[in-house]
Structure 1
Amino acid sequence: MIKAFENYEVWFVTGAQLLYGGDAVKQVDGHSKEMVDGLNDSGNLPVKVIYKGTANNTHEVEDIMVAANADKHCIGVITWMHTFSPAKMWIHGLQKLQKPLLHLHTQYNKTIPYDTMDMDFMNLNQSAHGDREYAHILTRLRKPRKTVIGYWKDAKTQEHIAVWERVCAGWADAHDCLILRFGDQMNNVAVTDGDKVAFEQVFGYHVDYCPFSTVMTYFDKVKDEDVTALVHDVYFKQYTVKDDLKDEKSEGYRKIWNSAKAELTIRAVLEDFGAKGFTTNFDDLGDANVEETGRGFDQIPGLASQRLMHDGYGFGAEGDWKSACLYRTTWFMSQGIEGGTSFLEDYTLNFDGDKTSILESHMLEVNPDISEEEKPRLEVHFLGIGIRKSQTARLVFTTKQGRGITATVVDLGNRFRLIANDVNLIKSKPLPKLPVASALWIPEPTFEVGVGCWMNAGGTHHSCFSFALSDEYWRDFAEIADVEACIINKDTDYEQFRKELRWNEVYYMLNKSLR
């Protein structure tokens, strides 16, 4: 079990009935307990599985599902039909269930005992029968769920359950997630805007505005000695810093010190509000006369954003609250898996045949977790954008190479669409005159198809990247949220993808009417 998920649990419910007698149900119960113990002891599941017994009639099913809804530790329910469980008895419980659902199609026995199998064995071991009956009612109810098919002891089966558990954890976290907006969206930008009320209805995230006047009350309370300690005891030890920037009389040191004060300010606000993420806007940074008054950020808090992303806070630049929400979930689901995550933005293209790629970066805000350097460089350079045009600190590095996935959510007016694209990060050449953190990637299946599908789907120029996740995570997340998922990978065909976008318009209109 991953320590980050130690307060969560997933419930396991076995479907049965009393048609075959009480002794048969006792065997079902014993087999189920053994299976749950085996899943927990496998070491492959990040969240503990709790066995909640057999459900033998409508009232038992309903009681378990209502209890799951009310239990703050329960983040999802796994159901399995050991024997034949008439599906009409599941209707009321499934209608009331509000937690994520996984249907496990497995069997206690791995193989058929040809030489000894009798009618008693047949009556007891009917997953091939009962799971189809149960799956029918899930489909009839239009119930979102994940279906995992395979022997319960197999690592591959357990890995699919583990992915779903991580997504359930991310889903639970999203429903207890406050994002603070320090400033509004960038003026006239469409894709980062959207309906916050509908977004909370669908995904659970709560997004609030925090005036910069409020931020300044925390800024004024930050102690100079705490800022100096952060600079010397953390920044100068964790990062590569040139000697001239360590000179306390230099402008570079002062800019690093100012960045540290911005970090402590934002941390204090987030902790006090109980927020799990934030957005910034380079046009809203406090007192416009900061050089004279000393009240405000002397430049956008890039270094603070980089370090706060490392600690799991959601972040979106230019007021992009949807990315701040999704980044928090990206990071949360990735805990305990090697690789790293970051907010990124598409910047510029490098046309080079089969190696045509996109430079990913942002002005300052890229998570050092994806750096190929053990100690990123802490540097100070001029940034001439927004309300402040001045020198500012940032971590500079190039990213690791390898395969990852990037994701975004867009508001289409009548629904939300989740878009994810497998990408391959490649080695970048040095950028001596562009002192920012950057990545260079080739979208799958090819640059032309990957970019074309992303753009046809209405994808953003901001996205949330992870080395640790796969498209299975985002498919599960979209299934739980009951939103459209557009996955772009090595198997994607451009024209087929465009057709599916059109089909999806019809599907989601009809699906809504059926409910």
Structure 2
Amino acid sequence: MTSAAPVATESGVPLRKPRIGLLGIMQALYDHMIPGITERQSGYAREIADRLADVADWTVGRPVKDRTDAEEVMREFVNADLDGVMVVLLTYGPAMRVARLFNENRLPVLLANIQPEPQVTAAWDMADMTYNQGIHGAQDTANAMVRADRSFEVITDDWRAPEFAERVDRWARSARAITAWKSLKVGIFGYAMNDMGDIRVDENALLRALGPEISFVAPGDLYRGSLEVPGAEVDALIAWENARFEVDPDLTAAEREDHARMQLAIEKILVERGYRAYSTHFDAIGEDGRFRRLPLAAASSLMAKGYGYGAEGDALAAAMVYAGHQLIGEGHFTEMYAMDFPSDSILMSHMGEGNWRVARDDEPVRLIHRELGIGRLEAPPTFLFRYRPGPATLACLVSLGGERFRLVVAEGEVLDAAPLPQLEMPYGQFRPDSGVRACMDGWLAAGGPHHQVLNVGRHAEDWRVFCRSSGIEFVQV
């Protein structure tokens, strides 16, 4: 049997550009006042898209002037499988023409409060006033969306300014992540860890409110799949690892083959069943009775390929790692292990799963032989690396009951700290900008769970926009 799962590659999975529609709103009244205004403002809309070509792939709709036009263009955007819609008032346009549209719309929306010219001058006549009068149309349209209780983002700026492109880029990436979440399937191999409360969620509420769907995979599917992986694919993965990583000579051939077969079997299941995130709980693997070791290294390399991952059956963490990939790139699963008060930092790590793309650049990533009693199985090959020093952001999703969710975020810095030679798993020391005491007080008060996604860089504002556009409460600590 031939496996459908591709062998890991150095490039991973590149993120595509966000796909965004530009909905330009006008009204027919001005056609009689200023002949040619529709063509002129339509050109303005195309100029905006051209200027933002590096930010997204744009679909510019024809200017809409009534309810029928607007709803037809929006249907075209939905049918084109776009990630979101940027609304631009090309002139004033009464909101009642789009009120029902935005009440029913489910695509992320950005209301760009912009105008063709950045400055009012003495040369302006009535035509110039009309070309640049989108501001009160934006007010009317925003009022309609607020009344409809729809989440949306707003940007007011000179559309030629670099800051405008930066803010549109942030929103477009959040729209891409939100859209990806709406079709996300999370596969849980076995079951979630018993008695671990902060990973629990009402699966129906999560699906209704945000989109991720949780389903469970029999460990037997993984066992049978690992037996069916062709030997040539096993050899290819091992050869790739030999070329890419520093491989521990103590690793046995049996350990390498077991690991490779489990990774390839997991990915084959993910590909064939449409999962973009997953979890393997050590008890579910250990208690099955057919496995020799845990698939820890598999989680590291599959995260590096763009899959979401959460340990112990944590679907919320798996979904967050996937969102971290889509919003920012290089999502990394981790948890807070211990506080170090002298350095005002927190030791971050997990049992052995970690995205090696966040490893520091001046040390090799090692694939090691490692004795591990958890799961009561044999030694699992594990990637060992230290996190890259520099700015970093932690984020986690809190289920508040029903369809209410909260996202807790902390910005800070991964310290260039001394190695911890006894640790045989990925690790780093994260110093929150607010300090350990204030950060942890806020984290616990907000109900932040113990599994997180870490991204390199400062990205609280990215997560804030993601929350505003998806109706999630945002808390920064």
TM-score > 0.5, shorter chain as reference:
yes
Q: Once the 2 structures are TM-superposed, how far is the Cα of residue 35 of structure 1 from its aligned partner?
A: 4.1
Flag the 1:274–1:142 CA change in 2: closer, same or farther, 3 A.
Answer: closer
Establish whether residue 93 from structure 1 lines up as the match of residue 94 from structure 2.
Answer: no
Deviations 1:251-305 (A, max 9, x none): 634323321121111112112212111101111226755xxxxx42x22211000
Establish whether residue 368 from structure 1 lines up as the match of residue 356 from structure 2.
Answer: yes
Distance 2:423 2:127 in 1: 73
Greater CA deviation, 148-157 or 263-272?
A: 263-272
Other-structure match for 1:129: 136
SS in 2 for 1:220: helix
Distance 2:72 2:126 in 1: 32
Q: Which runs of 4+ in 1 moved over 4 A?
A: 286-289
Establish whether residue 14 from structure 1 lines up as the match of residue 24 from structure 2.
Answer: yes
Other-structure match for 1:398: 386
Other-structure match for 1:492: none
Other-structure match for 2:424: 435
SS in 1 for 2:284: coil
Establish whether residue 329 from structure 1 lines up as the match of residue 323 from structure 2.
Answer: yes
The TM-score normalised by the length of structure 1 is 0.85
Amino acid at match of 1:203: L
Distance 1:451 1:24 in 2: 60
Establish whether residue 276 from structure 1 lines up as the match of residue 265 from structure 2.
Answer: no
Correspondence list, 1:276-425, <5 A:
276-285=276-285, 289=289, 295-296=290-291, 298-335=292-329, 340-352=330-342, 355-373=343-361, 375-388=364-377, 390-414=378-402, 415-425=404-414
Q: Once the 2 structures are TM-superposed, how far is the Cα of residue 21 of structure 1 from its aligned partner?
A: 2.5
Other-structure match for 1:58: 67
Partners of 1:5 and 1:169 within 8 A in 2: no
Amino acid at match of 1:112: V
Q: Once the 2 structures are TM-superposed, how far is the Cα of residue 42 of structure 1 from its aligned partner?
A: 4.6
Q: Once the 2 structures are TM-superposed, how far is the Cα of residue 175 of structure 1 from its aligned partner?
A: 2.0
Other-structure match for 1:30: 40
Deviations 1:482-514 (A, max 9, x none): 1211123xxxxxxxxxxxxxxxxxxxxxxxxxx
Amino acid at match of 2:268: A
Greater CA deviation, 130-139 or 415-424?
A: 130-139
SS in 2 for 1:214: helix
Q: Once the 2 structures are TM-superposed, how far is the Cα of residue 438 of structure 1 from its aligned partner?
A: 0.3
Other-structure match for 1:259: 259
Deviations 1:198-225 (A, max 9, x none): 1011111111100111212211202334
Establish whether residue 152 from structure 1 lines up as the match of residue 140 from structure 2.
Answer: no
Amino acid at match of 2:322: R
Distance 2:35 2:305 in 1: 48
Aligned residue among 189, 208, 212 for 2:215: 208
Flag the 1:25–1:182 CA change in 2: closer, same or farther, 3 A.
Answer: farther
Aligned residue among 216, 238, 246 for 2:244: 238
Partners of 2:19 and 2:176 within 8 A in 1: no
Establish whether residue 82 from structure 1 lines up as the match of residue 90 from structure 2.
Answer: yes
Higher-RCO chain (CA-CA 8 Å, sequence separation at least 6): 2
List alignment gaps of at least 5 residues for structure 2.
1-12
Amino acid at match of 1:421: A
Partners of 2:116 and 2:131 within 8 A in 1: no
SS in 2 for 1:326: helix
Partners of 2:151 and 2:468 within 8 A in 1: yes
Correspondence list, 1:467-486, <5 A:
467-468=456-457, 470-486=459-475
Greater CA deviation, 403-412 or 357-366?
A: 403-412
Q: Once the 2 structures are TM-superposed, how far is the Cα of residue 27 of structure 1 from its aligned partner?
A: 2.5
Partners of 1:371 and 1:399 within 8 A in 2: yes
Other-structure match for 1:510: none
Amino acid at match of 1:309: M
Q: Once the 2 structures are TM-superposed, how far is the Cα of residue 428 of structure 1 from its aligned partner?
A: 2.3
Other-structure match for 1:459: 448
Partners of 2:348 and 2:430 within 8 A in 1: yes
Other-structure match for 2:7: none
SS in 2 for 1:413: coil
Distance 2:332 2:32 in 1: 54
Q: Once the 2 structures are TM-superposed, how far is the Cα of residue 23 of structure 1 from its aligned partner?
A: 6.5
Distance 1:269 1:143 in 2: 37
Deviations 1:4-49 (A, max 9, x none): 325x52111122112222464743543343443444345540x212
Greater CA deviation, 118-127 or 403-412?
A: 118-127
SS in 2 for 1:148: strand
Amino acid at match of 1:51: V
Partners of 1:443 and 1:451 within 8 A in 2: no
Other-structure match for 1:4: 15
Other-structure match for 1:179: 186
Distance 2:175 2:155 in 1: 15
Partners of 2:279 and 2:314 within 8 A in 1: yes
Amino acid at match of 1:346: M
Partners of 1:212 and 1:286 within 8 A in 2: no
Distance 1:469 1:14 in 2: 33
SS in 1 for 2:98: helix
Query: Structure 1 vs Structure 2: percent identity of aligned residues?
Result: 23
Partners of 1:192 and 1:321 within 8 A in 2: yes
Deviations 1:364-397 (A, max 9, x none): 0011011004630111111111242x32211111
Flag the 1:144–1:363 CA change in 2: closer, same or farther, 3 A.
Answer: same
